[in-house]
Amino acid sequence: MNKKILITGGAGFIGSHLADELLRAGYAVRALDNLSPQVHGEKAKRPDYLDDDVELIAGDVRDPGMVRKALSGVDAVYHLAALVGVGQSMYQVQRYTDVNNVGTAVLLEALVEQPVERLIVASSMSLYGEGLYRAPDGQCVGGACRTLDQLKVREWELRGDGGETLMPVPTPETKPPSLASVYALSKFDQERLCLMIGKSYNIPTVALRFFNIYGPRQALSNPYTGVLAIFASRLLNNKPPLINEDGHQRRDFVSVFDVARACRLALEVPAAAGQVFNVGSGRNYSVREIAERIADALGKQHIVPEVTDKYRMGDIRHCFADITLARELLGYHPQVDLDEGLVSLASWLEGQVAIDRVAEASAELAARGLTV
- Catalytic residue list: 183
Mode of pairing for the β-strands spanning 132-134 and 140-141: antiparallel
CA of 173: how far to CAs of 32, 121, 182, 197, in Å?
A: 29, 15, 20, 20
Quickly list DSSP for 236-282.
HTT-PPEESTTS--EE-EEEHHHHHHHHHHHHH-GGGTT-EEEES-S
Give yes or no for a contact between 106 and 64, defined as CB atoms under 8 angstroms apart.
yes
CA of 135: how far to CAs of 110, 158, 162, 165, 284, in Å?
A: 47, 10, 10, 7, 19
Cross-strand pairs, 57: 32
What phi and psi, each to the nearest 5 degrees, are found at residue 209? -90, 100
Outline where DSSP puts E strands in the chain: 4-8, 28-33, 55-58, 76-79, 118-124, 132-134, 140-141, 167-169, 205-210, 212-214, 242-243, 250-251, 253-255, 276-279, 285-286, 306-307
Length of the chain: 372
The Cα–Cα gap between 372 and 369 comes to 7
